[in-house]
Structure formats: structure tokens, C-alpha cells
Amino acid sequence: MVCRKLRLLIIATMAIALAFAACGSPEGGPDVSPTVPSDASPAVPPSETAQAPDISVAPPGNEATVTAVNVGYGDAILIQLGGQSFLVDTGAKKAGDKLLRALAARDVERLNGVFLTHPHNDHIGGLKALAQRYEIGMVYAPAIALDMEKTDKLAADVGVSLQRLSAGDKVTADSGAVFEVLGPLELNGEDDNDNSLVLRLNAGGLIWLLTGDMQFAEEASLLRSGADLKADVLKVGNHGNPDATSDEFARAVSPRVAVISTSTAEDSDSANPRVISALGKADVYVTQDYTLGVWMTAKDGELEAVDLKPPEADIPISLSIDKTSQTATLVSETDADLSGWFIWSEKGNELFVFPQGAYIRAGVPLVVACRGGRGDYIWDDKKVWSDKADEAGMLYTSGGAEAARSN
């Protein structure tokens, strides 16, 4: 299967730039604009967004993989460096199953760190579900925010330590890759979007700039500071809305690839044409266009982007829910190990994870009850299933495949 490939050869680019500097330009100044090698994929026109091909097998020789998860209108960026996994934002609570499926499909076993760029629900709402499924080493949040208490309480509620980060701080992975904090530089008293944690990561031979929901005000602050904003890959601020990614900021970053995390069905102003135009010749990936997310693999300055898809479920199993008794009942046609499988309530947005060793026998109903009820397993909530007519339960395998859906 053919993949879109961008060959971002940093050393070659520097050599070309130096050669032009030596020769000069007709206007008397050097032309140091980087050039795309002739065998690279052509840039996507500004009015279009890039489409990565389907793939179900990881590209070989991974050095760094970054997956922009399709969590609808929200952000969740998974970064895998060697044997470690980091997450930048967690999406909204209602998108918890989307986030968990993507992480399962990428074989995440532990989250070494979770960065919460700012305390808005579409960036922090998925932390509870994450903590139910994964061990989390540390939660990081900006040292400057209007609502500090929100992230403090959230981290305490899920039992994870929280560390505040300021501009100039660094978080170093075992691989040697460094998350460098560029902002926020000053408190914005009007909107925590402009108090977003801005991270610069050098991994896989590429520079990644991750901007949370940064808008014009914080962009201007960074530009005034003289911070090095040049990056190969830009996670576009504030879902590609027109109040972010100024022309000046876009020129300062000059990305080869830009990622917009959004659902235009939820926010029609996101992935805005003005923003895409400001990004110039960058290939633009919009998360809503991908199944579980756009999965980027970087090694030695080369980048491949593909559509992350879940595996197929191969166990014939059914799921039914009873709103009155607040139970979920599974019936399988074969014996099956349910370790790491999970149930998601679509309207209640609650999660149940089967423990290691969980097992279902062919033809024998297995009942998951809410707290205070009777069942083979007990959900740690008193009420999970909403009374809404369109409530549904979803059953997923440990690898993120959809195994069953209740009616």
C-alpha cells in the first residue's frame, strides 16, 4: 500500500541554504528558503487537506511516532518515543472511547506523561477514562492559568501527581528527545486558550510544535520574545479557528506539515479556509478525515502519514443493557479471554475495564452491574446507563476493535 512520504532532509536543506548564502541573490540578500527534494510528495494546494492511505501494519524502523487522535472537536496527540508514550491533551469526556481505541490500536501499555495544555473540557475531559485504563506517570500543566484549581482537582481525583511547567522547562524522554516549554510567557487575563502550554519537540529528526488552543495573543507574545518557532510539523492552534494562526506566526513556523484536530460538524469555523491558506504549501491533515487518527512516523528526517485503523474483532459476542437494573450482559459463542476489554456507555460517557484474567464461557451470560447491584463484575458507578432513548453500550477488545454494540 502506497504511503504519502515527505522527505524532510534537514542536513541537505542547511547545505543548500549555505550555498545560496555564498552566492547571494539578485536582490543582494541570501535566499535561505528550504527546498523539498525532487522525490518528495508534492505539496497539497492550500484549499485542500491531505489524505493519508489506509494501513494496518506499523512502518518499520520507528524512531518516533505521533498520532493525532480523531476525538472530534478536541485535542489528543499521542507521542511514542522508544518504549515510552506521552499524550498531549486528552480530548473531551464524550470522546473517551475514541481516545482509548486509538491508544489500544497503537499498543500503548503505560503513559509516562500526560500534558494538559489548558483547563478546557475538550482538552482535559478524557483524563478520568485514561486513568481507569492506564498507569500514568505524571500529569503536566502550565504554571500560568486562570483556572488552576480545575486541573489540580482533576489530577487529585484520578490519583496522579501533577507538575506545573513554565517557559524554559524541559521534560526529557529516555530516548533523549526533549519536550521544551516555550509558553505561556505571561498570564492572559481573558482566555485560558492564550495560556496554553506550547511545546517544542525534537524527535525523529524533525521539529514538532504543539500549541494547544493558542490564539493571536499568545502567538504575538512568542513572536515578541524572539523564540525559535521554526518547525517541520505544526499542531495548529485552537482547532484551526480563524482567531489563531496569524499570517506572521505561520511564516515564522513555516511548517512542511500541519495537523488540525477538529470536527467541523461540531464547529463549522474550525479548519478555517483562512488558516489553511496561511499555512501556505504545508500538507494539512485534519483529524476528522481519519478513522482513529492520523498516524505519523518520523525517522532521520523522513515522515510517513497513514490512517490509523482498528483491528477486526474475531469473537462472536453480544452485548445488551438494562437501564432499569443498570446492568450490561455479555453472551459469547466461544470461550474468550476478556483481559483489557472495555465497555463504554455512549450517553453516560462511563468506562468499565475488564481486569486481567477476566474470562467468559461460551453460552454463559456474564453480567456487569453498577455499584450496589448484583453481577459477575461491578462497575464503580451507581448509575451508568442514561435514560435517553438513544443510549447504547459499546464493547471493545483490548486492541480497540469494536466487538459488539447494544441496541
Confidence class of residue 391 from pLDDT cuts 50, 70 and 90? confident
- Residue 39 pLDDT more than 60? no
Fold held by 43-308 = Metallo-beta-lactamase; Chain A (3.60.15)
Q: Cβ contacts of residue 147 below 8 Å, gap of 6+? A: 119, 192
Please give the average per-residue pLDDT across 29-54, as a whole number: 35
- Residue reference for cell 481573558: 190
Please give the average per-residue pLDDT across 153-159, as a whole number: 97
pTM of the model: 0.84
Q: How far is CA 169 from the centre of its chain?
A: 22
What is the rounded CA–CA span in Å between residue 130 and residue 128? 5
All cell numbers assigned to 165: 511547567
Domain ranges of the chain: 10-40, 43-308, 317-405
Please give the average per-residue pLDDT across 175-198, as a whole number: 96
The CATH architecture that domain 317-405 belongs to is Sandwich (2.60)
All cell numbers assigned to 133: 485504563
Percentage of residues in the chain having pLDDT higher than 90: 80
pLDDT 10s digits, 344-355 = 999 889 999 999
Instruction: Count other Cβ atoms within 10 Å, centred on residue 271.
Output: 23
What is the rounded CA–CA span in Å between residue 101 and residue 397? 9
pLDDT at site 113: 98
- Residue 13 pLDDT more than 50? no
All cell numbers assigned to 38: 525532487
Coil, strand or helix at 95:
helix
- Residue 22 pLDDT more than 80? no
The dihedral of CA 100, 263, 204, 164: what is its sign?
Answer: negative
